[in-house]
Amino acid sequence: MRIILAGASGFLGTRLTGRLRAAGHDLTLLVRRPAQEPGEATWQPSAGQLDPAVVAGADAVINLAGAGVGDRRWNARYKGLIRSSRVDTAGTIAQTVRSLPAADRPRVLLQSSAVGWYGDTGDRQVTEDSPAGSGFLADVCRVWEAAVRPAEDAGIRVALLRTGLPLDSRGGLLKPQMVPFRLGVGARLGGGRQWVPWIGLNDWLSATDFLLDRDDLAGPVNMVGPEPVTNATFTRVLGRVLNRPAVLQVPGIALQVALGEFAHEALRSQRVLPGVLQRTGFVFAQPTLEVALRAAIDRESNAVA
């Protein structure tokens, strides 16, 4: 399969690139700098520039591009970057594929999104049929997903990957927690009652493969594990996997001092279920948090070895 991939240098993009290449797919990576390697193509999404010839004839486009939500302390400028880095890339790809003759359009666009769409759901379970919530990230997700409508209007199958928190000790949610937990000072956040929508990294990668091949699946897809847990449970299980105590608590006020506005998002509760994946027969290899965490720790140990 010939696949165009945006966001290949990110946490998930790096791992997906390796997976797709190992499977024998022909990849073209979109980069903002001048292309230096075979299989790279330059684009400028902030200016809406993507050469249609790069995309013409591709079987699929996967867009994972976007500035990291937790990479920096939020201010007005960085919040603007979080939004524009998603909307500009999604919109540029959607407009470009729509401009192609029908015979040259990709058959599928896998567009990254996030469970932030649902806002704070408390203890309420939500699936893909649930409405958008409120808050900054929910607002970003609404305009992010709306930006790819031109591709849908052109008849391209679009799957919106509403990703939770992929578990890998070398990146994402888990990486910054590894040192304190290994030192025995891992702690739950706030009261610990908020739900955490995690997913094993291998299951996220497998679900992406699943969606590439399933021509009958379009629209939002919750990329989360089948058993969400509370933050208190997450903390306890991670401590058990690492054989370290995890009985401390980081008060919410301390998080607000350390993280500013982002603390409100870090403490939100999201009891998100993978309705589409479960309904359509996707089999989770890491169906429980403990299995997913042990796989993440094993990958780190193998990488070091």
Other CB atoms closer than 10 Å to residue 280's CB: what's the count?
14
Give yes or no for a contact between 151 and 97, defined as CB atoms under 8 angstroms apart: yes
Give the model's confidence band at 133: pLDDT under 50 very low, under 70 low, under 90 confident, else very high. very high
Cα(145)–Cα(87) distance, integer angstroms: 8
For range 201-206, the mean pLDDT: 97
pLDDT value of residue 261: 64
Share of the chain above pLDDT 70, in %: 91
DSSP code of residue 49: B
For range 170-186, the mean pLDDT: 80
pLDDT value of residue 257: 43
pLDDT value of residue 299: 67
Strands 165-168 and 171-172: antiparallel
Among 90, 84, 88, which Cα is nearest to 113's?
90
Helices (H), the chain: 11-22, 52-55, 76-99, 136-146, 149-153, 175-182, 201-213, 231-242, 252-259, 262-266, 275-279, 289-304
Strands 229-230 and 171-172: unpaired
For range 174-179, the mean pLDDT: 80
pLDDT higher than threshold 70 for residue 168: yes
pLDDT value of residue 300: 57
Cα(35)–Cα(30) distance, integer angstroms: 9
- What is the total count of domains within the chain? 1
Among 162, 278, 161, 159, which Cα is nearest to 215's?
159
pLDDT value of residue 163: 97
Place of tokens 């903390």: 235
pLDDT in tens, 221-253: 999 999 999 999 999 999 999 988 776 666 555
Cα(305)–Cα(301) distance, integer angstroms: 6
pLDDT value of residue 263: 56
Cα(65)–Cα(83) distance, integer angstroms: 11
Give the model's confidence band at 305: pLDDT under 50 very low, under 70 low, under 90 confident, else very high. very low
Q: Which amino acid is at 137?
A: L
pLDDT in tens, 242-300: 988 776 666 555 555 445 666 567 778 999 999 999 999 999 999 999 999 999 988 65
For range 143-168, the mean pLDDT: 97
pLDDT value of residue 173: 74
* Ramachandran sector of residue 192 (left: φ over 0; alpha: ψ -120 to 50; beta: rest): left
**Domain extent for 223:** 2-304
Share of the chain above pLDDT 90, in %: 76
pLDDT in tens, 82-108: 999 999 999 999 999 999 999 999 999
Cα(59)–Cα(50) distance, integer angstroms: 17
Cα(13)–Cα(109) distance, integer angstroms: 15
Give yes or no for a contact between 113 and 71, defined as CB atoms under 8 angstroms apart: no
Assigned token pair, 235: 């903390």
Cα(66)–Cα(88) distance, integer angstroms: 9
Give the model's confidence band at 160: pLDDT under 50 very low, under 70 low, under 90 confident, else very high. very high
What per-residue string of b and e applies to 34-59 under the rule 16 or more CB within 10 Å gives b? eeeeeebbebebeeeebeeebbbebe
pLDDT higher than threshold 70 for residue 36: yes
102: three-class secondary structure by DSSP = helix
CATH number, domain with residue 158: 3.40.50.720
pLDDT value of residue 71: 76
Cα(168)–Cα(205) distance, integer angstroms: 12
